[in-house]
Amino acid sequence: MLFAVRCTLCSAPGRSPCEGCARTFDGSPIVLAVQGAASAMARYPYDGELRRALLALKYANARASAGFFAAELAGLVDRAPAVVSFVPTSAARRRQRGFDQAELIARQLARRLGVPARALLRRMPGPAQTGRSRAERRKGPRFQALGGPRHHSVLLIDDVATTLATASAAASTLAQLGAVVHVRTVAATPRR
61-89 residue pLDDT tens: 899 999 999 999 999 999 999 999 999 99
> Among 192, 154, 190, 191, which Cα is nearest to 40's?
154
The pLDDT confidence band at residue 93, using thresholds 50, 70 and 90, is confident
CA 170 to chain centre: 12
Q: Is the peptide bond before 17 cis (omega within 30 degrees of 0)?
A: yes
Show the 3-state SS of 132-183. CCHHHHHHCCCEEECCCCCCCEEEEEEEEECCCHHHHHHHHHHHCCCCEEEE
pLDDT digits (tens, 9 = 90+) for 119-154: 999 999 866 656 656 666 566 789 999 976 666 899
Interacting residues of 80 by C-beta distance below 8 A, sequence separation 6+: 113, 114, 115
For residue 115, give the DSSP letter: S
Tell me the domain boundaries of the chain.
27-188
CB 183 within 8 A of CB 75: no
All residues at 6 or more sequence positions from 34 whose CB lies less than 8 Å from its CB, including other chains = 40, 161, 164, 167, 168, 171, 183
Q: Reply yes or no on whether the pLDDT at 1 is more than 50.
A: no
CATH architecture of 27-188: 3-Layer(aba) Sandwich (3.40)
